Amino acid sequence: MIDAYIGLLVLWPVAAGLACLGLRGQAARSALVLGTAAVLAAAAVGLATQAPLTASPAFLSSATALHAAKGASFLFPAYFLFVGLKEKHALVIGFALLQLGLAAFGEFGLPAPALVQTAVVCDGLSLALVLVVSLVGTLISVFALPYMRHHEEHLHLKTSRQPQFFMILLAFLGFMNGLALANDLHVFSAFYEATTLCSFLLLGHDQTAEAKKSGLRALWMNSMGGVFLHAGILLIQKQHGLADIQALVDPALWTGLSLLPIALLAVAACVKAAQLPFQAWLLGAMVAPTPVSALLHSSTMVKVGVFLCLRLAPVLEGTTTGRVLTLAGAFTFLGASALALGQSNAKKILAYSTAANLGLIIACAGIGTPVAIAAGVVLMVVHAATKGLLFLCVGDMEQAIGSRDLEDLRGMIARTPVTALAAAAGSMAMILPPLGMLAGKWATLEAASASPMSMVMMAVGSALAVVCWVRFTGTLMSGVAVAVNPAPTSSLSTGPVLTMLAGVVGLGMAAPWLNAMLLPVGQAIMLPDGWALLPPLFITAMLAWILGMKVLGRQSAAKLATPYLGGLPSAAPGSFVGALGRNWTLSEGNEYATELFGEAKLTKIAGVLASVLLLALVGGALL
Amino acid sequence: MNLNTLYLAVAGLVLAPLLGGLVAGVDRVVTAKLQSRMGPPLFQPFYDVGKLWSKVIAPASHWQGLFVRWALVASLASDVVLAAGGDVLMCFFVQAASASFVALGAFCGNSPYGKLGAQRELFQLLAYEPVFMVGILCMAKAAGGFDAFSIMAAQGQPLLFKLPLIVPGLLFAVLVKLRKSPFDIAASHHMHQEVVRGVYTDYAGRDFALLEIAHWADVTVVLWICSFLWATGPLQMLATGLVFLFAALIIDNISARLTWRTMLKTVAPLTLILATANLVWLYLE
């Protein structure tokens, strides 16, 4: 039964994707996507009932499968090389050649590693990623159905490119599940490269010059990450003759040895997770259609990076490498939060905030204690749902008004009330106690007590995030002087948004219990003062909710006061008679404090500092 | 959770806002004396809230009542967490949520002054929250635990001697939370200034009365955390809180309002560096 679940999780989406390519009709595509959503959700829940578990399904453990994984380590770089040559992009060519060289060295220059014990190990961490991919990921795919139809209507394409789009989108879900479950480093890296490929193809989907450029940037950066990954894997193979991930994350294996391979894997993870100074590819990725940003670039693919770090975390506990990684993660949390604050482009705010929160999770991994790892996994799950929701909302609002600038989104609550309120709820879920994101942040802050500098950076980053999200919500909910007409919506887009919202609230409230489940038996008591404080806070929050809703019900019928403008309201809405008897028109805007948080300057400084930290990460392990 | 915790929580819920109201009264009496005026009676803030409560005024937004109540609940909850000996860091996060709700309510209104005030309120939050949080981290490190009881139980030598460099940061936070000059940037303490009443512009009547109570609860939390610096006994804590209060009142009366830029570019980094230095110093010990 377990093998069947795993088979469905990994192979079904790939098959459904191929079917999308064959059956080009809109109805068939909708049926396939909705069917995949149902199958993956059922299989993921089925797997969850059996976890923790080990298994060796044939398609991941047979000799053929391992040969396929080996072949993939040549095929993917070869394709990247082809793309690089076609586009004449030196960096893509260079990193593809390096990857090919490493693959050849691993194949012919090193003895084959020992066979893995079991091909699949599903513990709390893998299960968390599988659930994120299978529940959040499929919801985003459903949302993509109406979104892409609108999207193509705007582009006026002769032949629809949706079949290719959905093929890659669905296949990607399968690759992600494979990556989460694989216990063989080579199978893992094959899936890792497959996600890089999907990201590249989906980024270039619109075929505009900007999309192409962003796609190539994402490709070269992530193949650079691939080079680090392969180098790390080969070093491990050389030192230990191992490819078994579970065997390799045993701290006893590394006592007295250099952690260089682990540091290399961590750098690869930082690239994938768009940590400073590699955030540029994620920012560029925002040109892609919203479902791509939501699925790959916030809720799932970038999670591969933090997943890898959390996987390695037991080895990192108490080591210099771990301490430097904690600093690097905390620094990205701080730097990217500051960059988010200076942005008015809503998708860029989301992108920077994503990088920031992934930094926090990487900091958890660097700390490496069971308490910190559990906090990291909770953050990973809750962040995936919350950020997925926010992306869907921003995408929906963007389609309604044709702009993603926060200033244009002012007062959206009057135009697309459902999505605007869902976005408001999502951004509040990013920062409000006692919900999951804040609880995770709090647990991380207290778990980081061995590293004062990272605690300070987390404190500042956390304040920056609060300001960023309250302003975001406030702008969406801003009162408007002139009444506007609501925009039309589709049930296929509001459905996923509302489901996701329910998931965000549910997960946010379930965080303490998730956390307790993730901790080893007996560890739950070790929590500083305890997550026991959260349940009473939940009850308080619910009482506040009821109270607030009653008042909202009463006030929503009230006649509103005229705006206080420091002058006489004039007959025309949005203007007033002010000083000198002049008629003044009212205009509003947020203060982005770009002299402090401006992108151009801050990116440079933060990039240099983050590079120093990553160099220290590798260099420190080397010495 | 035992019965004792429950009693303490209820006491915190009832007494903390009352204490905050008294602080507001003391503030007005002392300020009047400093300015050689008669001034109002000690209980004037309570009379004011009673008067506001009796007024029914059209709201500026349908959402304001909701956010006001959420702010009130969050502020009271932060008092309760502290009174019940809960985690001080979480108490602080809950308190910050209250400030966020106040800003959100202002954003929802229709007056530009309110929205301007909301932006400034957020920049204030950005300025004092990190340094206050680092202050709490210092206290937790010095006392060996994040919960209020272990910090208050750090008998013997008061924490102040280990944490002298966090005092400027705490005082900065007190000034901001009390909405005192030079940091009454978001809600100018006196009317008829360029932002009118800033973040409070759109709040009126019963909603504003509740917001005032939430403010009292906030003030208690902040002064209470400051009083951890000399927590050798209840009287000493009260005295420490009063020292911070009087320092804030004197600074209020001798300074003019700064701009948010000065606050964010100079005061916040300076106090944060001092507090961080203290934290690092604790680790080197």
For the ranges A156-160, A397-401, B196-200, B208-212, the lowest mean pLDDT is seen at A156-160
> Does some domain include residue A121?
no
| Res. B153 pLDDT band, cuts 50 70 90 | confident
Mutation test of the interface with chain B: which of A456, A464, A476, A545, choosing the one with the most B Cβ atoms within 10 A?
A456
Give me the residues of A, 446-505, that contact B with CB < 8 A.
Answer: 446, 449, 452-453, 455-456, 459-460, 462-464, 466-467, 470-471, 473-475, 477-481
If you average pLDDT over residues A531-539, what whole number do you get?
Answer: 85
Question: Does the distance separating the beta carbons of B204 and A460 come in below 8 Å?
Answer: no
If you average pLDDT over residues A157-177, what whole number do you get?
Answer: 90
Residue B193 has pLDDT above 90, yes or no: no
For residue B85, report the phi and psi dihedrals to the nearest 5 degrees: 75, 25
What gap in Å lies between CA B81 and CA A277, rounded to an integer? 40
Residue B97 has pLDDT above 90, yes or no: yes
For the ranges A108-117, A427-436, A542-551, the lowest mean pLDDT is seen at A108-117
If you average pLDDT over residues A423-436, what whole number do you get?
Answer: 92
Residue B155 has pLDDT above 70, yes or no: no
Question: Does the distance separating the beta carbons of A460 and B113 come in below 8 Å?
Answer: no
Q: B262 at the A interface (CB within 8 A)?
A: no
Mutation test of the interface with chain A: which of B79, B87, B150, choosing the one with the most A Cβ atoms within 10 A?
B87
Q: Which residue from A203, A292, A291 is spatially nearest to A496, judged by alpha carbons?
A: A291
What gap in Å lies between CA A279 and CA A352, rounded to an integer? 8
Question: Does the distance separating the beta carbons of B133 and A442 come in below 8 Å?
Answer: no
Cβ-nearest to B62 among A462, A480, A552 = A552
Give me the residues of B, 147-166, that contact A with CB < 8 A.
Answer: 147
What average pLDDT does chain A have? Answer: 89
pLDDT of residue A484: 61
What gap in Å lies between CA A501 and CA A470, rounded to an integer? 18
Question: Does the distance separating the beta carbons of A442 and B73 come in below 8 Å?
Answer: no
Question: Does the distance separating the beta carbons of B86 and A560 come in below 8 Å?
Answer: no
pLDDT of residue A528: 47
If you average pLDDT over residues B69-76, what whole number do you get?
Answer: 96
> Does some domain include residue A369?
yes
CB-facing half-sphere around the CA of A586: CA atoms within 13 A: 26
| Res. A137 pLDDT band, cuts 50 70 90 | very high
pTM above 0.90, yes or no: yes
pLDDT of residue B256: 86
Residue A245 has pLDDT above 80, yes or no: yes
What share of chain B in percent tops pLDDT 70? 96
Per DSSP, A595 falls in state H
Structural domain for A498, as ranges: 249-521+618-623
> Does some domain include residue A517?
yes
A492: which residues sit within 8 A by CB, 6+ positions away? A30, A142, A143, A145, A146
What gap in Å lies between CA A419 and CA B38, rounded to an integer? 55
What gap in Å lies between CA A355 and CA B5, rounded to an integer? 40
Residue A112 has pLDDT above 50, yes or no: yes
> Does some domain include residue A214?
no
B214: which residues sit within 8 A by CB, 6+ positions away? B68, B71, B72, B74, B75, B76, B98, B102
Question: Does the distance separating the beta carbons of B276 and A433 come in below 8 Å?
Answer: no
Q: What is the pLDDT of residues B38-51, one digit of tens each?
A: 989 999 999 999 99
Q: A596 at the B interface (CB within 8 A)?
A: yes
Q: B183 at the A interface (CB within 8 A)?
A: no
Chain A CA closest to residue B81: A533
pLDDT of residue A154: 81
User: Residue A442 corresponds to which amino acid?
Assistant: W
pLDDT of residue A2: 87
Sign of the alpha-carbon torsion through A63, A68, A71, A72 = negative
Mutation test of the interface with chain B: which of A453, A550, A564, A597, choosing the one with the most B Cβ atoms within 10 A?
A564
Cβ-nearest to A477 among B63, B65, B133 = B63
Structural domain for B128, as ranges: 3-284
Mutation test of the interface with chain B: which of A333, A409, A467, A595, choosing the one with the most B Cβ atoms within 10 A?
A467
Q: What is the pLDDT of residues B252-278, one digit of tens each?
A: 989 888 888 999 999 999 999 999 999
DSSP string covering A462-495: HHHHHHHHHHHHHHHT---SS--PPPP--HHHHH
CB-facing half-sphere around the CA of B42: CA atoms within 13 A: 6
Residue A565 has pLDDT above 90, yes or no: no
If you average pLDDT over residues A29-33, what whole number do you get?
Answer: 93
Torsion of CA B189, B191, B193, B196, to 10 degrees: 100
What gap in Å lies between CA A228 and CA A400, rounded to an integer? 42
User: Residue A164 corresponds to which amino acid?
Assistant: Q
**Helix ranges, A320-369 (H):** 320-341, 346-367
For the ranges A187-191, A215-219, A532-536, the lowest mean pLDDT is seen at A532-536
pLDDT of residue A481: 54
Number of domains in chain B: 1
> Does some domain include residue A55?
no
Residue B220 has pLDDT above 80, yes or no: yes
* A320-341 vs A452-476: helix crossing angle, rounded to 10: 30
Is the ipTM of this structure higher than 0.90? Answer: yes
> Does some domain include residue A417?
yes
pLDDT of residue A422: 94
What gap in Å lies between CA A342 and CA A599, rounded to an integer? 7
Q: Which residue from A457, A410, A465, A455 is spatially nearest to A432, judged by alpha carbons?
A: A465
Chain B contact set for A556 (CB, 8 A): 62
pLDDT of residue A482: 55
For the ranges A49-58, A151-160, B158-167, the lowest mean pLDDT is seen at A151-160
What gap in Å lies between CA B224 and CA B11, rounded to an integer? 14
Per DSSP, A53 falls in state E
pLDDT of residue A157: 77
Q: What does the angle CA A252 – CA A254 – CA A258 come to, to the nearest 5 degrees? A: 165
How many angstroms separate the most distant Cα atoms in chain A? 87
Number of domains in chain A: 1
Q: Judge residue A539's burial from the number of C-beta atoms within 10 Å of its C-beta, 0-12 exposed, 13-18 middle, 19 or more buried.
A: exposed
If you average pLDDT over residues A527-546, what whole number do you get?
Answer: 81
CB B132 within 8 A of CB B88: no
CB-facing half-sphere around the CA of B194: CA atoms within 13 A: 7
In the three-class reduction of DSSP (H, G, I as helix; E, B as strand; rest coil), residue A583 is classed as: strand
If you average pLDDT over residues A306-326, what whole number do you get?
Answer: 94
Inter-chain Cβ pairs, chain A and chain B, closer than 8 A: 191
